Amino acid sequence: MLRNTKISTDIMGSFKCLAKIHILCIAFYLLHGVNPVLAQELATNIKISVDYKDTSLKQILKDISKKSGTKFSYNSKAIPLDTLISYKCAECELEKVLKGVFQKSGLKYEHVENHVVLKVGKLQKLEIEPPSRKKQYTISGYITDAKNQEALIGAAVFNAETNVGTTTNNYGFFSLTLPEGAYKLETSYLGYTVKSETVQLFNNYKWNINLQPVASMVDEIIVSSVDKEALVFRFLAAQTEINPIEVKKQTAVLGETDMLKSFDNLPGISFQSDGSSYFYVRGGNRDQNLILLDEAPIYNPSHMLGLFTPIIPDAVKTTNIYKADFPIQYGGRLSSLVDIRTKDGNMERFSGSGSLGLASTRFSIEGPIKKQSSSYFVSYRRSHFGMFIKAAQPNIKDFYFTDFTAKVNLRLGKKDRLFLTMYKGGDKFITEESEAVAGGLEWGNTSLTLRWNHLYSDRLFSNTTFYTSRYNYFMYTDYDKKEHWNSRISSGHLKSEFSWFLNPGNQINYGIKLGSYFFNPGNHNSPELPLDYTVSPNNSFEFIAYAGNEINITEKLLLNYGIRFTNWSNSGKAFVVNYDENYKPLDFNTYEEGETYYSTGAFEPRISFSYKSGKYASFKASYNRTLQHVNLINNSISPFNSLEVWLPSGPNIKPQKANIYNLGYAKVWPLKNIEFNADIYYKTLYNQIGYAYHAKTLLNPYLEGELRQGDGKAYGFELLLKKTQGRFTGQLGYGFTRSLLQIDGLNGGREYKARPDRPVDFSLAIGYSVKPRWVATLNFMYASGMRITTPTSFYYYRGSQVPVYSEQNNGKLPDYKRIDIGSDFKLNKGTKNFEHHLVISVFNFFGYKNPAFLYTTKTSNADGNFEIPMDKLNMQEQIVTKRYVFSVIPSITYNLKF
């Protein structure tokens, strides 16, 4: 082609040939979208002054044309006019200015009569060379959804020729440093079309990328394998991403889909029973899971005593679960991290969604405050089935739950972004105990997060966050007089974290965090209550510093290592009870406000490897040491109990610790949209909390004397096979969990199985597109029952049968099994701005009776019914009875989106 032909000196000397070439050149570029900038006849010896700093090539061409009269011709589709260039030259000849500008942009140019014709040379396959041989430049920017400007977390940017790439962070930012040259970069993200672009990298380059979402996730989609290759290699061990779109398709009790309840399909995660929000990860206790909503902790994720959870998919952008290899910036729990990121809000247009079901009504709206500059998102949910219960039970005054989520997203310039997230959720259950007194329960979570993103340079990204979170529980003895027992935990933190992108194979993360906690372990506000029932509140402070390095040792070996330091301290106003070796109280010490009485510090090293065994396969190994200073105190075995007491580490409670070892294998088949993950793990646990037999945990100033601590271990394996796209989708999982504890004073000092010990955990989820607007789903689960303590023998005392317990958790509930079915009907044909669905589902289709409780205190009467015996004079044989929560639960839900 003419634009790739060099004009020789002899041809330049021939005016006749030059005229012909000129005519052909102009005709060619005009046919291919040339933009001519008109000027006077070219004079290369003219002197001009220029001073450009991060100025676009398009603006530079206009400026040079204005100052020198130069006429430029170029193909607007081939020339990267948005390239930013910095160049300065005072009173320089035009030729020198042109060379300086176009060398930086990686373009070639030729003089054709009174025109300067810009051309793109052939792409060269560039090898990464030492900085001494070749200059390094950085491509950086944000990858967003083209329809609403939502940041895409984990999107891939990749250059196939050099086999170098990166992925976006939690704010959609990426940075890729390469030697100077021309590169064809491919950007991809699951569910979005692939975008390819040629970048002339001869200076630092800002590149904000918009990806177009695919219209339908049901149809077969050809997705670039680049994101799969990068994610398989770079995903942390035991990391799982949950798509909120897929969660909406799942069956749930009364149609109330939520993010946390969807975890029951994942191996290694088990819920206590039907209708419970308490979940256990890899044999750990339920307080060992850190749930973050835009970085603020949610301490009690339950509604209606656990029937539902507060995180609805409508408000969620992404959710990631980490069960072993925690990111270096997170800690404070031993078993898992659940990182939930809410939607930023649509910057392009107003949109929303709504849902009407048997249990609740919810809606979400979002839109731009200033288009492409700021946005908002608001979501609200309120239950309404309480009105039916109130009609059947007139003594119930209030019975409902609510969730409110709001977010504001501001772009303050090219280098700064601000996010403000607010969440408030609560439950209320008030009954009239008598004509004069009303009692009940009320509890809720509140959080606020303010985040500031700042780019110090193309390779240094920072995020500074302030967040506060609170969980309050009220048990009213007189609701009208507001007399209540209250338990509370609240926290506030300020942290600043940095990501330094040294080069494509090396990223350093470091930061610091300061925080404070307030613990009220449960006190009654009645003035008539004796001081002997007062439980000391606690004030705690923590300081955390961390640093981690992610480095490609070779193209096939990725090393991620780091260390955290945590200092924890407690201060007054408080009192601390001293105990002897038999946990008997001796005396107590009183501390004034601000007086520090406990402090401890420890390091938490972490290291992991990822080895690429094939293009789409990798082996992973990791080791983590974690600490936990925040402890849930609750010895109830009920799966429906939001009554929670929290206590910090201190003189009488040692910090919980864990060493976590994990080996994993990940493999994907991109063309078939199939993913496979396998993990084996081993955890050693220290200072685990147990309870003295018949421990009293309410209104007990000697609460810490009821606690016992010891060590434990957990090990197992997990298998997960997924088909993520196409007409048929599905997920098959299996997990084996062995969890053992040995705690001082319990089970005679012998080792015993912990409650979440579950050797069998099988799940199958299937989705099938029957027709373009009809998707059918099937969900099957089978798992071992939770461990419980059962009598080992009985004896009779004065005519009553008395059970004898000699072993801890020696039995288990019957095996759990459930089958759910559902159908999602799209009620209208595909439109860009509106769609509505009808979702019909049946939870526990075959009505399996999965017990949540076992009783050994009842007898069978003459009618065959079970009752607690009242006749203490005659011997009556007590039998085992069961209590289950759900049978068959059909539901219908109407969803709309606009």
778-808: pLDDT as tens digits = 999 999 998 988 888 878 776 677 778 888 9
809: its two tokens: 């958790």
Better-predicted residue by pLDDT, 216 or 15? 216
- pLDDT at residue number 313: 87
**573 preceded by a cis bond (ω within 30 of 0):** yes
Q: How many CB atoms lie within 10 A of CB 220?
A: 10
Average pLDDT of the chain?
84
CA distance 837 to 249: 11
Give the best-scoring range by mean pLDDT among 13-27, 116-130, 246-260: 246-260
The residue type found at 66 is K
The residue type found at 873 is L
- pLDDT at residue number 607: 96
* pLDDT > 70? residue 848: yes
> How large is the average pLDDT for residues 659-683?
93
Better-predicted residue by pLDDT, 414 or 510? 510
* pLDDT > 80? residue 655: yes
Query: Looking at 664-673, 835-844, 873-882, which range is the least confident one?
Result: 873-882
473-504: pLDDT as tens digits = 999 988 888 888 999 999 999 999 999 998 88
> How large is the average pLDDT for residues 846-870?
67
Q: Which residue from 88, 78, 136 is spatially nearest to 108, judged by alpha carbons?
A: 78
- pLDDT at residue number 860: 55
**Distance from the Cα of residue 714 to its chain's centroid:** 24
CA distance 889 to 898: 30
Rounded (5°) CA angle 431-435-440:
20
Contact 185, 196 (CB under 8 A): yes
> How large is the average pLDDT for residues 430-455?
88
- pLDDT at residue number 578: 95
Tell me phi and psi for residue 406, to 5 degrees: -140, 145
> How large is the average pLDDT for residues 879-888?
75
At 268 the three-state DSSP class reads: coil
Model confidence at 687, pLDDT cuts 50, 70, 90, reads very high
* pLDDT > 90? residue 100: no
Q: Which residues contact 215 (CB under 8 A, 6 or more apart)?
A: 830
- pLDDT at residue number 25: 37
- pLDDT at residue number 205: 81
337-379: pLDDT as tens digits = 999 999 999 998 999 999 999 889 999 999 999 998 999 999 9
Q: CA separation (Å) from 787 to 470, 570, 792?
A: 32, 35, 15
Strand 156-159 with 108-112, pairing: unpaired
Query: Looking at 34-43, 376-385, 647-656, which range is the least confident one?
Result: 34-43
Q: Which residue from 12, 9, 5 is spatially nearest to 28, judged by alpha carbons?
A: 5
* pLDDT > 50? residue 103: yes
> How large is the average pLDDT for residues 555-567?
94
- pLDDT at residue number 866: 52
Burial of 199 (0-12, 13-18, 19+ CB in 10 A): buried
- pLDDT at residue number 641: 66
Contact 319, 242 (CB under 8 A): yes
Residue ranges in 639-781 assigned as alpha helix (H):
none
Q: CA separation (Å) from 238 to 228, 241, 426, 661, 717?
A: 16, 10, 32, 11, 11
Q: Which residue from 776, 662, 704, 787 is spatially nearest to 323, judged by alpha carbons?
A: 662
Dump the DSSP string for 794-814: EEEETTEEEEE--STT-EEPP
- pLDDT at residue number 114: 61
Contact 290, 756 (CB under 8 A): no
- pLDDT at residue number 768: 93
At 704 the three-state DSSP class reads: helix
This prediction's pTM: 0.80
- pLDDT at residue number 436: 67
Q: How many CB atoms lie within 10 A of CB 20?
A: 12
Query: Looking at 191-205, 312-326, 454-468, 548-562, which range is the least confident one?
Result: 191-205
CA distance 501 to 538: 41
688: its two tokens: 């685990």
Give the best-scoring range by mean pLDDT among 190-199, 382-391, 533-542, 877-886: 533-542
Model confidence at 856, pLDDT cuts 50, 70, 90, reads low
Better-predicted residue by pLDDT, 392 or 540? 540
% pLDDT > 70, the chain: 85
Model confidence at 274, pLDDT cuts 50, 70, 90, reads confident
* pLDDT > 60? residue 633: yes
Helix, strand, coil percentages, rounded to 5, for the chain: 10, 55, 35
Q: Which residues contact 662 (CB under 8 A, 6 or more apart)?
A: 237, 238, 323, 324, 325, 620, 621, 622, 623, 679, 680, 681
> How large is the average pLDDT for residues 454-461?
91
> How large is the average pLDDT for residues 416-429?
94
Contact 376, 348 (CB under 8 A): no
Q: How many CB atoms lie within 10 A of CB 627?
A: 23
Query: Looking at 16-30, 306-320, 604-618, 711-725, which range is the least confident one?
Result: 16-30
* pLDDT > 50? residue 125: no
303-337: pLDDT as tens digits = 887 788 888 888 999 999 999 999 999 999 999 99
- pLDDT at residue number 183: 85
Model confidence at 867, pLDDT cuts 50, 70, 90, reads low
Model confidence at 33, pLDDT cuts 50, 70, 90, reads very low
CA distance 834 to 489: 43
839: its two tokens: 């979702």
161-172: pLDDT as tens digits = 777 788 888 888
> How large is the average pLDDT for residues 519-535?
81
